[in-house]
Chains A and B, each alone.
Chain A
Amino acid sequence: MEALFATTTGILAASGLYLALRGRTFPVVVGLTLLSYAVNLFLFSTGGLTTGKAAVISGDAGEYTDPLPQALVLTAIVIGFAMTAFSVILAMRVRGDVGSDHVNGNRIDEPREDKS
């Protein structure tokens, strides 16, 4: 399970980083989202990966998983969602104000009819 978990996190992070370095705002936003998923998975694993143990408190369970990373991930997910929403709106605003969806505001490869 550890290997699968680590691979998934790694692939998500690598794809996210690649997309975040692209020149258009849309891939950047998607890349940041993928990165935040990878980070959430990573945070979740910091308490150790366990199966079949009580998640929080239960009367008869002898062993528990660490509940703190779950709380941390919850916080990170909430913040991450808000930031994704914000950056999508911002990317649209940049498209409207600057007239290009390139992060540097380049217009070279912009189709002519979209320039209005």
Chain B
Amino acid sequence: MQHLIILPVLLPLLTGLALLIHRGGALTLRRTTSVLATLALVVVGILLVAESTDGTIRYYALGDWQPPFGIILVLDRLSALMVMLTSLLALGSLLYACAGDDEQGSNFHGLFQLQLMGINGAFLTGDIFNLFVFFEVLLIASYALLMHGGGKARTHAGFHYVALNLLGSMLFLIALGVLYGTTGTLNMVDISMAIPTLSPADIGLVKAGALLLLIVFGLKAAMLPLYFWLPRAYAAAPAPVAALFAVMTKVGIYAIIRVYTLIFGEQAGPLANLAQPWVWWLGLVTLALGAVGVLSARDMRTQVAYLILISVGTLLAGIGMNSEAALSALLFYLIHTTLISGGLFLLVDAIAQQRGKAGARIVQSRTLTQPAMLGLLFFAGAIAMAGLPPLSGAFGKALLLQAASTAQQYWLWPILLTSGLATLVALSRTGSTIFWRASGEKTGATLGPLRAAGTLMLIGCAPLIVAFAGPITAFTQATAAQLLDRDAYVQAIIARGDTGGDA
């Protein structure tokens, strides 16, 4: 199955194009196509993870142009994991969307598939300019998806989001230009080989380029000074789109991990571990401010958006710790937080639909139609997000706390644990206002089977992650070890010589 690597890009591309061409087709047909394609993507994701477990770094040379000259897709444990995670999240939010959200505007399914193509491509590519192209693909699809259904709040938040990301793309191009001008290559592994042999005159320039890249990825990941667009945009987006966007910030996290372990890792000479000190402090402050945001949010959607911010801060702090144990812990936490925060976006929308005029605002209102089921789901999601045992958040946080060195513990422990407490307080307040202080008749519609399936699938991952914590931790540990072993990438991609790649 040598062509398996390119399937996560090709499959959504072709499905998306077909859906855009047959935009007037029967709704059931479009929904079935979209769900089937996403199901196929889940299968491909699982196969990729299975293939990557042997520790070989595989690559797919497009058009058989061998690296470092051709464009390649690289499959290692991290990219396989991210592709599978994306496909699972996409399946949940797509099921939810098929219950009616997709009818609010045109082309939902086509755009959704193109968005998946961009995300998967960004995870798989081994060429830094291609990373830019896939970023653009996923951004363009996300601009349209964010405004799906229209309305004042969405267009308004959308304009900010578009303008900021356009600026980000331009900085990305400048950084790429600097890197290409100094190293003469765009293949990530090849750049990492060129960095230690740079002439001293170029080092300052490359450093500027590398830190520009950090700004771009930080904007995508919602790092401290660059996160102000996130709460508004995510709160305004339609629920299934917001759920899928839970993985968008992780694209930024992924790019930071990839670039600053592979290119500017231990071997980079004077530029080694360039970003980690920045990311550590900015991550901690993002974490603290996210906790303040969760406490102050007056709308459930905004609250979940701030929960995303807390998870981003936690992940960034994990990157900043810069050790194998921390990388492994943050990957475990990443799996948990992506799925559960996606699920919470869906759940909050389901709750809002049963509350009549009150919607997602955290105020007293009438009783929900299905308080028991939604209440239990909310309880599970809140416990997982706050990081209380026995659900998945506790494991991820415990692993991270354990991975911190003594000097790092002084900062990480109080901030991470206090933010957990803030999450707990804020979510208990929300939950008691919505479920216990409600009065009046149940008049709203009940949750449809598709919506219930989507929400259950994502929130249900919390106990599943705990049940399979053993194999998952083993996988994330192997992933962290692989990420820090740069020579393995050089061996697999550049030095393989005429034995050729997979293609």
Which of A's residues lie within 8 Å of B, judged by CB? 20, 25, 28, 32, 35-36, 39, 42-43, 45-48, 68-69, 72, 75-76, 79, 82-83, 86-87, 90-91, 93-94, 97-98, 103, 105
Nearest Cβ in chain A — how far from B24, in angstroms? 22
Q: Would you call B163 an interface residue if the criterion is a C-beta within 8 Å of the partner chain's C-beta atoms?
A: yes
Q: Would you call B29 an interface residue if the criterion is a C-beta within 8 Å of the partner chain's C-beta atoms?
A: no
Contact partner of A42 (CB less than 8 A), chosen from B129, B133, B152, B177, is: B177
Q: Of B7-15, B106-114, B165-173, which stretch is located at the interface?
A: B165-173
A69–B156 CB distance below 8 A: no
Q: Given A86-B140, A90-B155, A98-B155, check contact A46 B163 (CB 8 Å).
A: no
Q: How far does the alpha carbon of A80 sit from the alpha carbon of B414 in the complex, in Å? A: 45
B180–A98 CB distance below 8 A: no
Please, which residues of chain A bring their CB within 8 A of the CB of B140?
A: 82-83, 86
Q: Given A46-B180, A86-B140, A86-B162, check contact A94 B155 (CB 8 Å).
A: yes
Please, which residues of chain B bring their CB within 8 A of the CB of A25?
A: 159
Q: Given A86-B140, A97-B156, check contact A43 B163 (CB 8 Å).
A: no
B143–A86 CB distance below 8 A: yes
Please, which residues of chain B bring their CB within 8 A of the CB of A35?
A: 167, 170
Q: Would you call B158 an interface residue if the criterion is a C-beta within 8 Å of the partner chain's C-beta atoms?
A: yes
How many residue-residue contacts, CB under 8 A, span A and B? 81
Q: Given A32-B166, A35-B170, check contact A72 B155 (CB 8 Å).
A: no
Please, which residues of chain B bring their CB within 8 A of the CB of A79?
A: 133, 136, 169
Contact partner of B163 (CB less than 8 A), chosen from A32, A47, A75, is: A32
Q: How far does the alpha carbon of A33 sit from the alpha carbon of B162 in the complex, in Å? A: 13
Q: Would you call B269 an interface residue if the criterion is a C-beta within 8 Å of the partner chain's C-beta atoms?
A: no
Please, which residues of chain A bring their CB within 8 A of the CB of B181?
A: 45-48
Contact partner of B180 (CB less than 8 A), chosen from A28, A68, A91, A93, is: A68
Contact partner of B155 (CB less than 8 A), chosen from A45, A46, A68, A97, is: A97
Q: Chain B interface mostly helix, strand, loop or mixed?
A: helix
By beta carbon, the residue of chain B nearest A72 is B129
Please, which residues of chain A bring their CB within 8 A of the CB of B166?
A: 32, 36, 83, 87
Q: Would you call B207 an interface residue if the criterion is a C-beta within 8 Å of the partner chain's C-beta atoms?
A: no
Chain B, residues 147-186, CB within 8 Å of chain A (1/0): the string is 1001110011011101100110110011011101100001
Residues of B22-80 whose CB lies within 8 A of A: none
Nearest Cβ in chain B — how far from A113, in angstroms? 21
Q: Chain A interface mostly helix, strand, loop or mixed?
A: helix
Q: How far does the alpha carbon of A75 sit from the alpha carbon of B71 in the complex, in Å? A: 14
What are the 6 A-B residue pairs with the smallest beta carbon separation, nearest first? A46-B181, A46-B177, A97-B155, A43-B177, A39-B170, A39-B173
Nearest Cβ in chain A — how far from B139, in angstroms? 9
Residues of B170-206 whose CB lies within 8 A of A: 170, 173-174, 176-178, 180-181, 186
B178–A91 CB distance below 8 A: no
Nearest Cβ in chain A — how far from B238, in angstroms? 16
Known: A72-B180, A90-B147, A105-B156. 6 other contacts (CB 8 A): A25-B159, A79-B136, A82-B140, A90-B159, A97-B155, A97-B156
Nearest Cβ in chain A — how far from B157, in angstroms? 10
Q: How far does the alpha carbon of A53 sit from the alpha carbon of B342 in the complex, in Å? A: 54
> Total interface residues on B, using CB and 8 Å?
28
Please, which residues of chain B bring their CB within 8 A of the CB of A83?
A: 140, 162, 166, 169
- 29 A-B pairs with CB atoms under 8 Å apart are A20-B163, A28-B163, A32-B163, A32-B166, A42-B173, A42-B174, A43-B177, A45-B181, A46-B177, A47-B181, A48-B181, A69-B177, A72-B129, A72-B180, A79-B133, A79-B136, A83-B166, A86-B143, A86-B162, A87-B163, A90-B147, A90-B155, A90-B159, A94-B158, A97-B151, A97-B155, A98-B152, A103-B159, A103-B160
Please, which residues of chain B bring their CB within 8 A of the CB of A105?
A: 156
Q: How far does the alpha carbon of A108 sit from the alpha carbon of B162 in the complex, in Å? A: 24
Q: How far does the alpha carbon of A90 sit from the alpha carbon of B163 in the complex, in Å? A: 10
By beta carbon, the residue of chain A nearest B160 is A103
Nearest Cβ in chain A — how far from B174, in angstroms? 6
Q: How far does the alpha carbon of A90 sit from the alpha carbon of B176 in the complex, in Å? A: 28
Please, which residues of chain B bring their CB within 8 A of the CB of A68?
A: 180, 186
A91–B159 CB distance below 8 A: yes
B180–A32 CB distance below 8 A: no
By beta carbon, the residue of chain B nearest A69 is B180
By beta carbon, the residue of chain A nearest B155 is A97
Nearest Cβ in chain A — how far from B478, in angstroms? 35
Residues of B118-134 whose CB lies within 8 A of A: 129, 133
Q: How far does the alpha carbon of A79 sit from the alpha carbon of B170 in the complex, in Å? A: 11
Q: How far does the alpha carbon of A20 sit from the alpha carbon of B168 in the complex, in Å? A: 12
A90–B180 CB distance below 8 A: no
Q: Given A43-B173, A46-B177, A98-B152, check contact A32 B167 (CB 8 Å).
A: yes
Nearest Cβ in chain A — how far from B441, in angstroms? 35
Please, which residues of chain A bring their CB within 8 A of the CB of B150?
A: 97
A76–B173 CB distance below 8 A: yes
Please, which residues of chain A bring their CB within 8 A of the CB of B178?
A: 46
By beta carbon, the residue of chain B nearest A82 is B140
Nearest Cβ in chain A — how far from B143, in angstroms? 7
By beta carbon, the residue of chain B nearest A93 is B155
Please, which residues of chain B bring their CB within 8 A of the CB of A36?
A: 166, 170
Nearest Cβ in chain A — how far from B485, in angstroms? 29
By beta carbon, the residue of chain B nearest A91 is B159
Nearest Cβ in chain A — how far from B65, in angstroms? 13
Q: How far does the alpha carbon of A86 sit from the alpha carbon of B159 in the complex, in Å? A: 10
Which among A25, A35, A68, A97 has the greatest number of chain B C-beta atoms within 10 A? Answer: A97
Q: Given A20-B163, A32-B166, A83-B140, check contact A98 B176 (CB 8 Å).
A: no
